[in-house]
Amino acid sequence: MNNYIIIGRTNVGKSYFFNLFSKDKKTISIDQAHTTVDIIKQKIITKESSFNIYDTPGYDDLKNFNAIFNRIKHLEINNINFIYVIKDEYKDCLLYTSDAADDSLRV
């Protein structure tokens, strides 16, 4: 089964994107700027396929990113695809995907 892990900086819309797929509001957050505090998994089953999607806490710097990445590694899951949620000054939200076994980015 494929696993999609949503990662990105704090407050870029990762949980919003996760909730679009899960159709339940499962994200665990605190009041501080709607900050997700734990990794959440949701199994998605459709007529065509099934997969797991994960919401993760955001990061503000490389140290936080490394801590989140280490938590992901400890999940010991296979078939990982990363979904990078990026907000920039020109667009509301950009999504990039990457297979964990392949460092190339695809839009």
Average per-residue pLDDT in the chain?
A: 78
Structure tokens at 46: 């459709």
In this predicted structure, what is the pLDDT of residue 12? Answer: 84
C-alpha–C-alpha distance, residues 89 and 77, integer Å = 34
The model's pLDDT over 38-77, given as tens digits with 9 standing for 90+, comes to 898 999 988 998 999 999 998 888 888 889 989 998 888 8
Q: Which is more confident, 93 or 2?
A: 2
- Res. 96: pLDDT tops 90: no
Contact 91, 97 (CB under 8 A): no
Helix, strand, coil shares of the chain, percent, nearest 5, are 20, 35, 40
The end-to-end CA distance of the chain, in Å, is 22
Query: Per-residue pLDDT for 35 more than 60?
Result: yes
What does pTM read for this prediction? 0.78
